[in-house]
Structure 1
Amino acid sequence: MHVDAMTVPQPLGQVGDLARRTQSAGFSGLLFTETGRTAYLNAAVASQAAPGLELSTGVAVAFPRSPFVTAAAAWELQEATGGNFRLGLGTQVRTHVVRRYGAAFERPGPRLRDYLLAVKACFSAFRSGKLDHHGEFYDLDFITPQWSAGPIDAPDPKVEIAAVNPWMLRMAGEVADGVHVHPIGEPGYIGRHVLPKVAEGAAIAGRPASDVAIIVPVMTIVGDTDEERDKQRDAVRASMAFYGSTPNYAFIWDEAGFEGTTARIREKQKAGDFAGMAAQVSDEHVAAFATESTWDALAGKLIDKYGATATRLVLYNAVGDPERFERYGEVARLVSARSASA
């Protein structure tokens, strides 16, 4: 089990230092979300600053970019990292895609499936010179040498998707190289939905479920004193309230025994009461959905909790305070070493 650090994209002048610190601290890789800044440019800078560090988008928004544009960016990053880049794609939600990006969003699950297959067809075209993808949403069949990146001395990038509901998880198992579990995807949800649905999809494709990486972001509350952990707990509570406000994720709370959580959070959100949103996430929610520990015990807790299910862990809140970042890196190194020897 590998352990990555998650970060929002940084100003480009700061990314190189972060990548070098991530590598020296002991993390396997660095995962870039996509917010107001682009994940791809950050990954490009990081690839030059820290050779050998595994880099991924976790996740980049798919639909506003054509599959060819996305494939070309991933191809160059795979070459720049010597084969250590993974392309993570997601749909985002309708409001962002339509009203912020000005792109189409209809039938996002099937659209993302077709998008992923189109990206892989572009990878094949870069090697062969022939582009031949004909799907429901994307129809690609023209490429010439000057518009092709050409072959690279590395395997095709892995293409992973963010998935929450059963249909998307099954689709990931069928056509993707990995699935990014949602940040509020606690172990019960992974066991009930992620693993069986990914396995169903893999069976449709005639391949083992182990071919599909399970990438799990983990919110942690770590400290050797109550005061340290209290501060971390409040930050995690706010993050969970943010994610928990999305209606599509309500079933995750409900199945874990916290019925109605999303509705209560949304009521506060509509009133502009952000403190009230966080207050809907109780200590019981936090205990079920986050991992709380002292520093010495954290590696063991993460292995016990996720060792049988996750291919990669992504530490959601490791980046920040430099001293804590170094300690998280030590934990990442321990988890990877113990997992490899198990």
Structure 2
Amino acid sequence: MHVDVMTTPQPLQSTGELARRTQEVGFSGLLFTETGRTAYLSAAVAAHAAPGLELSTGVAVAFPRSPFVTAASAWELQEATGGKFRLGLGTQVRTHVVRRYGADFEHPGPRLRDYVLAVKACFAAFRTGKLDHHGQFYNLDFITPQWSAGPIDAPDPKVDVAAVNPWMLRMAGEVADGVHVHPLGEPGYIARHVIPKIAEGAQNSGRSPDDIAVIVPVMTIVGDTDEERHRERELVRASMSFYGSTPNYSFIWDEAGFEGTTARIRERQKAGDVKGMAAQITDEHIAAFATESTWDGLADALTAKYGGTATRVVLYNALADPERFERYGDVAQRLQR
């Protein structure tokens, strides 16, 4: 099991030091989300600062960038890392894509499927000089040596997608190389939906499910005292209320036995009551959706929850307290043995 650290992109001046430290304390890799800063530039800085560290976007927003532009960025990062870059893509939500990025969003699932295939067609074109992709949303058939990145001495980058609902998980199994599970992806959801739908999609395209990585972000509550764990528990409670406010994710709560959680969170959200949102996440929610442990027991607790399903575990909140980062690194090394 590989263990990565999740981070939002920081100022580029500090990204190199973060990458070096991540490598030094023993993590497999660094995963960059994309919010107000781009994931690709951060990955580029990290690639030069910490050679050998595995890097990934988790996830970069797909639709505002053309597939060719995305493919070219991923290609350069794959070259810079010596084959240790994974391209993680997601749809984001309509409001962000249309009103912030000014891009098209209609039919996001099929559009992302076509996007992934277009990106892979660009990878092939960089090697062969021939670009030939004709899909429902993207048509690419022109490339010249001047506008091609050219071959690299590394395999094509793996292309992963963020997926939550059964259709998207099945699509990932058909055309992607990995799935970014949602941060609310507790083990029951992974067993009910993620694994079987990936397998179904893989079968549809004549692939082995073992070839599709399952990338799972995990929220941890770890400490050797009640005070330590209480502080982290409240941070996790707030994070869960944020993710749990999205209607498309409500079925995950419901199937885990917490019916109506999203509706209650959204009621407080509409009232502008952030503390009230967090209050809807009970300790029972946290026990099911997070991993709580002492430091000595964390590796075993994560193995028990995700050892049979996750290819990569991504520690969601390992960077919340810089003084504890090395201890998380020790846990990562135990999981990677």
Superposition TM-score, scaled by structure 1 size: 0.98
Q: Deviations over 1:4-45 (max 9, x none)?
A: 000000000000000000000100000000000000000000
| Shift, 1:207, TM fit | 1.2
CA distance in 2, matches of 1:284, 1:304: 19
Letter in structure 1 aligned against 2:85: F
SS of alignment partner, residue 37 of structure 1: coil
Which 4+ residue blocks in structure 1 deviate beyond 4 angstroms? none
Letter in structure 2 aligned against 1:108: P
For residue 143 of structure 1, what is the aligned residue in structure 2? 143
Matched, 1:124 2:121: no
CA distance in 1, matches of 2:6, 2:171: 25
CA distance in 1, matches of 2:322, 2:254: 37
Matched, 1:289 2:289: yes
For residue 154 of structure 2, what is the aligned residue in structure 1? 154
CA distance in 1, matches of 2:95, 2:329: 36
| Shift, 1:114, TM fit | 0.1
What aligned pairs does 1:61-72 form with structure 2 within 5 A after superposition? 61-72=61-72
Same amino acid, percent of matched pairs? 82
SS of alignment partner, residue 4 of structure 2: strand
For residue 115 of structure 2, what is the aligned residue in structure 1? 115
What aligned pairs does 1:208-247 form with structure 2 within 5 A after superposition? 208-247=208-247
CA distance in 2, matches of 1:333, 1:88: 24
Q: Deviations over 1:282-308 (max 9, x none)?
A: 000000000000000000111111000
| Shift, 1:323, TM fit | 2.1
CA distance in 2, matches of 1:270, 1:183: 23
For residue 340 of structure 1, what is the aligned residue in structure 2? none
For residue 306 of structure 2, what is the aligned residue in structure 1? 306
Q: Deviations over 1:177-214 (max 9, x none)?
A: 00000000000000000000000000001111000000
Matched, 1:253 2:253: yes
SS of alignment partner, residue 300 of structure 2: helix
SS of alignment partner, residue 179 of structure 1: strand
CA distance in 2, matches of 1:93, 1:325: 32
For residue 43 of structure 1, what is the aligned residue in structure 2? 43
For residue 19 of structure 1, what is the aligned residue in structure 2? 19
For residue 174 of structure 1, what is the aligned residue in structure 2? 174
Letter in structure 2 aligned against 1:143: I
For residue 79 of structure 1, what is the aligned residue in structure 2? 79
For residue 92 of structure 2, what is the aligned residue in structure 1? 92
Unaligned runs of 5+ in 1: 338-342
Matched, 1:187 2:187: yes
Letter in structure 1 aligned against 2:256: A
Letter in structure 2 aligned against 1:168: M
| Shift, 1:322, TM fit | 2.3
CA distance in 1, matches of 2:76, 2:272: 43
SS of alignment partner, residue 117 of structure 2: helix
CA distance in 2, matches of 1:139, 1:205: 22
CA distance in 1, matches of 2:321, 2:19: 15
For residue 330 of structure 1, what is the aligned residue in structure 2? 330
Matched, 1:57 2:57: yes
CA distance in 2, matches of 1:71, 1:163: 20
Q: Deviations over 1:150-190 (max 9, x none)?
A: 00000000000000000000000000000000000000000
| Shift, 1:321, TM fit | 2.2
**Paired residues, number:** 337
CA distance in 1, matches of 2:311, 2:173: 14
| Shift, 1:319, TM fit | 1.1
Superposition TM-score, scaled by structure 2 size: 1.00
Unaligned runs of 5+ in 2: none
SS of alignment partner, residue 296 of structure 1: coil
CA distance in 2, matches of 1:321, 1:21: 14
CA distance in 1, matches of 2:315, 2:139: 38
CA distance in 2, matches of 1:324, 1:205: 44
